[in-house]
Every structure is written in C-alpha cells, then in structure tokens.
Structure 1
C-alpha cells in the first residue's frame, strides 16, 4: 500500500520549496528596483528625456540604466514585465496554506482553548479575512485619506495590529502568526495584480495608440510598490515564526507581531535612505535593537498553556482508539515527553520544541502524523536518538498509524 502520509509530506515539501524559490525572486527584484529608483541621478539633463540614470557594475560588466518618469516616446519592442514572481509566490503560499492548515484544520488551525470552532468554520474565517484585508486596504488607498502617504501608512499599521489581535483570539498561536503573514502577503500580491500591472498596461496601451500617458498611473503604482517594500521583512518573519514557539506561544503574540512590523519599517528606512543618498540614519539600528529586545522580553513571558483534555476527542479520537495506541502512548512518554512537555525535563530546554507537547493521550493522538513521519517512518526524532528509541518501538509506531488510517 502506498504511504499517503509520506506522499503528503513530500507534496508539502515541494510546494514549500517552490514558495521559497519564488519568494526569493520576488523579494530580490522588488528590493533591487526600489534601491534603483531611490539611487537614480535626477540632476542631469539627459538627451533621451529620461527622468534619471545610474551606472552599475555587476558580474564583470557595466550597466547603464535610465528611468522615464512616465514613459518613453516610443514603445520598446522587447519590454520585460516583472509579475510572475509575485503571482507564483502567492499561489504557492496559498497552496501551502491549503495543504497544511486547511486540510489539517482540526490539528493546526483550530485550538479549542482559544476559540471553540469547527475546522470548516475556521477555514471560512481564514478566507474571509484575507479578502477583507485587501478590500479594506485598497479602499483606504483610493480614498482622499490615502492621499497622504504618512497618514495612510499609520492607518495600515493600525489595521495590521487589529488583525493580529483578532487572529490570536480565533486561531492557534502558530496559525495566527502565519495568517498575519498571509494577510499581509495577500495585500502585497494584490497590489501587483490589481493595481501595479493594470496601471502599467494602461500606459503601454496609450503609447501604442500614440497618446501621452497620464502620470497618475505611475504615481499610484509607485505608492503601492513602496508599501510592499516596507511590508516584506515582517512577512518573512511571520512565515518563519512557526519554527519558534517563542514567537507564537505566549499571551503577547499579537504585540510581538505588532513590534515586528515596526522593525520592518526601521530596517527598510535605513536602506532606503542610504540608497537615496540622504544620509546615514544609524539611529534606525538602535531603534530596531530596542524593539527586538522588547520582543525577546515579551517572549519570555509564561508560555500560553491551553487547557486541553486528558483523553483524546474530536479528530484525534480515531488515533487513540486504534490498535497499538497504548503501547505507542508508553513509548512516547518514555522517549519524547521529557522534551515535549509544558516544563521540559531535558537540561537546557525551557519550552517544548516547536511548542509541541506530548504528555497526554489527546496531545499524542493530535500529533499522530508527525510522530509517524518523524519517529516511525523517519529517524529525525528523537534527535540523534538521544533517548535510544529501539527499532521495535519505531515499528510499533508505524503499525499503530497504519491501523488508524486503514
């Protein structure tokens, strides 16, 4: 019989790999063009009519780059569009969200101690929140309120803080932090799909028709591109946070997320100022360090302890009732729970790795797939087999999981 759990794990791995590759491409091109735009020399009277230019050297060659404020007089034949990076990043990210959090909603998305909702309801909340984020943000940008960029950025920050608070009171801690990243990334990708690219197409159409393009389209696109620039670093933090319980397992998770957005602003402000040749604002690094120290301090607050039932319930019940569970329960308690506990007994550990606890029947049954993949089928756990899990014990885990999934 083909191992569908292993196939699912490899599918998640493949999608995650694609997501990382495309994200690197998107972030790289985004950061490059923001730096290029800020660094252009605009004090030169260029015969081409361009707004600015810059000479760059890379890979053993020299590049002469010019930017037109609106558009050149004639449409070039070999225009390169930068769009697939954004679309591929969002699509692969949503596919990963679907595979991990939607298909496994009862285990990864829902935490009954946070909100007693069903998996389908949680998925609907997730989808609705992503759509709401884009609509609310877009309408604010298009209103007169959005004419002031500083005021607009403050409003966006307030929305993000509110959403962070909302997510941490609806989803599990890990899902809440990741959803905040997805919420922000959806705004960023939608900026490209609904605003930046359509505006550029209007300019191209005007050029082909012999009309002078309206400068407002470029101005609007640049505003959205700037927003994306400042949101990128916090999104990366949110996406990596699921590996670090310190970021998502305390009662201050929403505050930590709010401070991370501020750190993204301070870091990008430093580089943007440097690229624009407007000074060397080293104070931004001090501000970033202070914000990070505050995040560290908040993260050392007592971990959030969900009041979970001792006995398995809900989707975990079938694993607890499968043949061999009693034996596996004893194996996990003997080989794994000294680390995966609310108060780990292993010297040097102050919290359970990745926030996973394996002390009760319910907790063990909820982690059935992970236990099977990492301690049964694979030998990743225990790390370096520090607790000397025997081959027979790994075989018992495999037999139990197979019995539960027949």
Structure 2
C-alpha cells in the first residue's frame, strides 16, 4: 500500500506540475510578446492577438490594474501550491520513510535518520529565508546582480548536499530547494501583492505599482529556475549525472543550461532577436556534463567501508539470505556493480550496486519489489532468473520483516 500511495502522489505531482509550469511559461511568453496599440484603454501596458484551437483571443495587460474591478477574475495559485505540497509528500514517502535506502549514503556521511531529515528540512526552509531577505535588501534592487548571486548560492547548495546525502538524494534536494523558493514566491509574495491590488480596487483606491514590480521580479526568477527543477526532479533516472565524482559541478552546469534555454525562448517571445548563440552555449555545457560524468573517480572510500546499519544486519541475519544473495549476485551484479561488465554500461542503473552482501541488504526492499514480487528486473529477464529464485527472494524478505 505504501508503494501505491507513492504511485498516487507521484501522479498528482506530475499533473499539478504540468499545470503550474504550463501556465507559468504561457504568461511569461504572453508578457514578453505584448505590443502597444493606439486604442489601448487607460492603464493598459500592451495587447496580444493569439490563435489557438480554431479561435482568436484578444488579450490586454494592465501595468498595475484596470480602473475598476472586473466581474470575473481568474487566479493562478493552486497549481503552484499543490505541486509543492505533493512534491513534499513524495519527499516524505520516498526519502524520509526510506532514509536508509535513498537519503543516507554512509560512504558520504554516517548520519542517523533523524539527522538526515533535520538537515533536509532546515535547508529547505533556510534557503527560502536567505533568498527572500536578499530580494528585499538593497542588494536585490539590481536584478541581474541578484540572479548571479542566486546562481552561486545554488552551486553552494549543490556542493553541500553532495557532502551529506547520497548522490540521488542530493539532486532531488537541490530540485526541492529550488522549487521551495519558487512556490514560496507565489505564496508569500506574488499572491499577497495581487490581493493588495485587488483590495485597493474594491475600495476605490489607486493601487501602488511597486507591488506588481516586486511580483514580476519573483516571477522572472521562477521562469529561469523551472527547467533545472524539472531535471532534478527526474534525475533519479540519470546515475551518469548524480552518481559521479563531480555531480555538484554537473548540477551547476544544469542550472546554466536552464538559463541559456530560457534566454533563447524569452528573447524570441519578446521579438528582440534570434540569439542562436545560446544553442552553441547549451551544447558546450552539455558536452562538459558528458565529460564530467565519465571522468574516473578519485580513489576514496569504497562501498565495503561503509558502516553497516542495524537494518542491514537484520536482513543479513534473516532466514534464506544466503540463497537470495547468491541469486542477486549471480543474476543482477553484472550491471549493478561499481564497474558494470554489461556491454555499453558505464555506471550501475540508478547508482544501485548489488555486489556485496551489505549492498544487497541495503537494497532489500527494492530487490523484493523489482525481482521478487514483480518481474521488472532483470529487464526482459536477460539473465534468466527462475520462478523459484524469485520465490526465494520473496521468502527471505518477508521472513526478515516479520
């Protein structure tokens, strides 16, 4: 049931994320494409004609607000809120509840579950506080300067997360750190400012333009951060990125790629030119990522040197472990190894290694689900694991958790 809960929340996260990102990208493109017209009403900044789905749309934007409150006003907020809430729920379900497996890497830092979760929560909340105070300070008056500093803050966080968490969890947390800033921008800044403007209109007062200016700054930051967040949220599929020696540098380059890609589209939407140089810049950044992902690791602590947790000891002591471990080592370790021997494979899938008994015990639940209860692994049953071997894995795991 826990895995089906994860399934449901994951899909909620995907659905609301698409809705939030879609509306965000649309409104940024709309804002950049606005044009002046002779018949614009008082207070209007520009207008745009668009065609979609067989119909024409005539859209106008007011720099501050119209002279009177419209009868119907659509708010865009729940997409952001539910995306963050469902994403945090996924963090709890997968990384907090499964801290020993997904969050903690004892070759990186020998943390307790409580310590790891505390670091996660404090970093997410602290990141927003630091960013928000910078935006509100004199330093934040220059948006270009602020965005450069924000990039270096994100690079620092990338390095920091890789010093305390597993590579997979570090990338996921970098995405969560950034997404928290983005959603908090909506909840704490953009929406309250819009409510102030609406309240002024309803009271017959002229709204102050500063509230729209502040909201626009935060919205612009969200726009440039969106693509990297998407990558980090699905990065568990890319061990070539997160399970390598220079993963934090790769993360920094991913942020830069997000900037170059968004700069191209934003410039095109604003009809301000065709910055094709961004294609070359993005390609160079990607080539650097490819190179960094395959650079040999600096010699250091190997997997056998990691402390064995009480959970691992329990699985290793359970009845049937020797037979199950032999099956996993014989059917799975040719790919799930520090140096896979399967042709064309450079790193183990999802960074999971199953060469030693301690590693198998650490991944017990995933082995049970992927190779015992289902036939997901090995892919296409390439190593010809038998039905009896799968049944043995099930008996071992269920004996261990009784």
CA distance in structure 2 between the partners assigned to 1:41 and 1:94 by the alignment: 40
Correspondence for 2:53: 59
Distance in structure 2 (CA, Å) of the matches to 1:274 and 1:48: 28
Distance 1:234 1:20 in 2: 16
Is the 1:101–1:175 Cα contact (8 Å) retained in structure 2? yes
Aligned match of 1:41 in 35, 40, 46?
35
Q: Which residue of 2 aligns with 1:88?
A: 82
2:309 and 2:129 mapped to 1: Cα distance? Answer: 38
Q: Deviations over 1:239-279 (max 9, x none)?
A: 11111111111121111111111111110000000000100
Provide the rounded CA distance (Å) in 2 between the counterparts of 1:249 and 1:27: 28
Partner residue in 2 for 1:234: 228
CA distance in 1, matches of 2:223, 2:392: 50
Aligned residue in 1 for 2:67: 73
Shift of 1:43: 4.9
Give the equivalent residue in structure 2 for 1:266: 260
Distance 2:161 2:343 in 1: 34
1:383 to 357, 379, 382: 379
Aligned counterpart, 1:115: 109
Residues 3-402 of structure 1: matches in 2 within 5 Å?
7-47=1-41, 49-303=43-297, 307-309=302-304, 312-402=308-398
**Divergent runs of 4+, >2 A:** 42-45, 302-314
Is contact 1:181–1:234 with CA below 8 Å preserved after alignment? yes
Confirm or deny: 8 A CA contact 2:43 2:64 kept in the other structure.
no
Alpha-carbon offset, residue 303 of structure 1: 5.0
Unpaired stretches in structure 2, ≥5 consecutive residues = none
Map Cα deviations across residues 265-321 of structure 1 (whole Å, 9 max, x no partner). 110000000000100000011101001111111011125775233795332111111
Equivalent position of 1:4 in the other structure: none
Q: How many residues align?
A: 400
Cα distance 1:316–1:328, how it changes in 2: closer, same or farther (>3 A)? Answer: same
Distance 1:92 1:303 in 2: 36
CA distance in 1, matches of 2:39, 2:45: 9
Q: Is the contact made by 1:38 and 1:272 (CA closer than 8 Å) also made in structure 2?
A: yes
1:16–1:96 contact (8 Å) kept in structure 2: yes
Question: Residues 152-176 of structure 1: CA distance to partner in whole angstroms, max 9, x if unpaired?
Answer: 1011011111111110101111100
- Structure 1 SS opposite 2:71: coil
Shift in Å, 1:95 = 0.3
Unpaired runs of 5+ residues, structure 1, are 1-6
Distance 2:308 2:135 in 1: 48
Output the TM-score relative to the length of structure 1.
Answer: 0.96
Q: Is the 8 A contact 2:131 2:150 kept in 1?
A: yes
Distance in 2 of aligned mates of 1:263 and 1:108? 27
Per the normalisation by structure 2, the TM-score is: 0.97
* 1:3 aligned partner: none
